[in-house]
């Protein structure tokens, strides 16, 4: 095991059912499998890292999450290729998930950063990134 790699991330959510529908689909697309499930939580695992979503208690639902406040801004995941970013963008659009920074997509993160940005049901921002392209002549996926 590589020392220092993320072991797990745990996120409190406002509506676990909605979160499970969204993240269950998304994480399976990225190769994760369902790991642990209990009344107030669900986790998905890939390799040695897992992501846990837990239902927040009612008394902590207000104020709601906002990514511009102190705390988590976004989660970014590797994809296998630019084609996978494109395919996921299409699937997200089919699922009526709004693509962020649409005018700059897929280069909202910079000229050599091929990615799609969107929000989860709590408006946590999510980013899917293609492998970095080192070619000066343009990126060709294998």
Residue 23 near residue 45 (C-beta atoms within 8 A): no
**72 versus 76: smaller Cβ distance to Zn ion:** 76
45: helix, strand or coil? strand
**122 versus 127: smaller Cβ distance to Zn ion:** 127
From the CB of 75, what's the least distance to Zn ion, in Å? 9
From the CB of 127, what's the least distance to Zn ion, in Å? 5
Q: Return d(Cα 16, Cα 42) in angstroms, integer.
A: 8
- H/E run at residue 76: strand 74-78
From the CB of 67, what's the least distance to Zn ion, in Å? 12
Q: Return d(Cα 69, Cα 39) in angstroms, integer.
A: 29
Per CB under 5 A, contacts with Zn ion among 103-142 are: 127
From the CB of 76, what's the least distance to Zn ion, in Å? 4
- H/E run at residue 88: helix 82-94
- Count residues contacting Zn ion (CB under 5 A)? 2
Per CB under 5 A, contacts with Zn ion among 49-88 are: 76
Contact positions vs Zn ion (CB under 5 A): 76, 127
């Amino acid at each position: 095991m590589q020392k220092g790699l993320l072991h797990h991330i745990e996120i409190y959510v406002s509506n676990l059912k909605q979160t499970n529908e969204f993240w269950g689909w998304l994480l399976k697309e990225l190769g994760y499998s369902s790991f642990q499930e209990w009344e107030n939580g669900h986790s998905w695992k890939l390799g040695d890292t897992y992501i846990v979503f837990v239902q927040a208690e009612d008394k902590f639902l207000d104020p709601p999450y906002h990514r511009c406040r102190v705390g988590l801004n976004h989660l970014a995941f590797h994809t296998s290729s630019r084609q996978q970013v494109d395919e996921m963008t299409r699937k997200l659009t089919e699922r009526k998930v709004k693509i962020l920074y649409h005018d700059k997509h897929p280069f909202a993160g910079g000229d050599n950063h091929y990615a799609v940005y969107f929000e989860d049901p709590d408006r946590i921002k999510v980013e899917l990134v293609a492998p970095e392209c080192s070619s000066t002549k343009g990126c060709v996926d294998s």
